[in-house]
Amino acid sequence: MGSANLRAVFLDRDGVLIEDVNLLTDPERIRVLPGVADALVALKDAGFLLLVVSNQTVVARGLANEDQVAALQRAVEQRLRAAGAPGLDGFYFCPHHPRATLAAYRRDCQCRKPRPGLLLQAAGEHRIDLAASYMVGDRPTDLLAGAQAGCRTVWVQTGSHLDPPIETSEPLGAAAPDFVCAGLAEAAGWILTRGG
């Protein structure tokens, strides 16, 4: 295997690619956000891997199992393709929560954002140069995960950025984003001006 040389854009799903409807379990509620398909095309054309990294507490709460989350993600990707987006290169999710309803998922894991475990796992599997990569999210936990993984970070303010912070097992520190914008289209434009 060669050295890590691929670049990626890590994408939170809910609030970045699709509307955040809070605890999504029904594919009928999937709504692709404006400008997302074209943004993904531009990033893919520039050579970036497109990887979704998402906390999925619906599993920890007993609202869906891991197979159902994977099926829902396939439905998200079908909607994205129908809107003209390219295929995504991976989907990584954390099913855990520090106060999970289901005891099997109640743990202090390394994969729940703001920890960088999902990004590090994806980087290892895809030979990604994290310093040349980006994390795009709508919550402070996304930015922290990206910063801890060594990525540049983009904060899209699509609505959920105003919500209270999600529960974490340690105090939620601050991570100043490298760029703040209204949505993925603007985020992609900024990323591509950085040498994409």
The residues assigned a catalytic role are 12, 14
Q: Could you tell me which of 3, 6, 92 has the C-alpha nearest to residue 49?
A: 6
Rounded Cα–Cα distance for residues 188 and 114 (Å)? 22
Q: Are 173 and 193 in contact (CB under 8 A)?
A: no
- Asked whether 155 and 104 are in contact (CB, 8 A), the reply is no
The span from the CA of 170 to the CA of 119, in Å, is 19
